[in-house]
């Protein structure tokens, strides 16, 4: 509804869903479902923050940064509340060559996504001085942020509550639904 219908109706439903998830998470403190419900609260929270902040007067590239700041704080607090360590949410180093290879796949997927979606460019030219800041903002505020929230918090909580296969499927579905319209 937020993307394809009346955004006000969609945002009202997101607000109701956020309250319901937090309420039910509070009622399930000793249950693995507590962590999943708390982590899932990020889905409507992301939508509410991204739609409701008054960003029209700011350059579009700064929108990503501004939206990510309160969500980073919330993710940090949620990880602490859920008792997750940095390693639990994926913040650890592994075999660096494999990690770099996986990271480089983002270039291929980004290229395909760019041509499928055909978005308006965020920069005026491909000169280094015009590219470095938007690239850094996108890397941290969308790439790192989305991985932390979806693969770190949500995926970890879903695996614990639902098992690895169902957890992966459910969180992938939540991620896809939140990206409808982009």
Report whether 72 contacts 152 (CB < 8 A): no
Alpha carbon of 164 to those of 44, 91, 97, 150, 155: distances in Å? 23, 19, 26, 14, 9
- Number of Cβ within a 10 Å radius of residue 156: 21
Look at residue 94 in the predicted model and tell me its pLDDT.
76
Report which DSSP code applies to 5: S
Look at residue 73 in the predicted model and tell me its pLDDT.
94
Look at residue 149 in the predicted model and tell me its pLDDT.
94
Mean pLDDT by 10 residues, the chain (182 residues): 79 94 91 92 91 85 90 93 90 82 83 83 84 89 90 94 94 88 62
Report whether 135 contacts 107 (CB < 8 A): no
The string of DSSP codes covering 30-60 is TSHHHHHHHHHTHHHHHHHHHHHS--TTS-H
Look at residue 44 in the predicted model and tell me its pLDDT.
93
Confirm whether pTM is higher than 0.85: no
């Amino acid at each position: 509804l937020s993307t394809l219908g009346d955004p006000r109706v969609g945002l009202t439903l997101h607000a109701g869903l956020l309250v319901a998830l937090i309420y039910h998470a509070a009622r399930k403190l000793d249950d693995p479902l507590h962590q999943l419900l708390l982590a899932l609260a990020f889905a409507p929270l992301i939508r509410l923050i991204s739609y409701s902040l008054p960003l029209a007067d700011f350059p579009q590239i700064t929108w990503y940064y501004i939206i990510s700041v309160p969500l980073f704080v919330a993710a940090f607090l949620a990880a602490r509340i859920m008792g997750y360590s940095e390693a639990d949410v994926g913040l650890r180093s592994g075999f660096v060559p494999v990690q770099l290879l996986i990271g480089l796949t983002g270039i291929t997927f980004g290229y395909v996504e760019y041509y499928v979606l055909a978005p308006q460019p965020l920069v005026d030219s491909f000169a280094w001085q015009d590219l470095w800041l938007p690239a850094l903002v996108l890397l941290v505020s969308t790439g790192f942020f989305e991985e932390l929230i979806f693969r770190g918090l949500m995926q970890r909580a879903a695996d614990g509550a639902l098992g690895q296969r169902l957890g992966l499927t459910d969180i992938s579905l939540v991620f896809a639904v939140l990206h409808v319209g982009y």
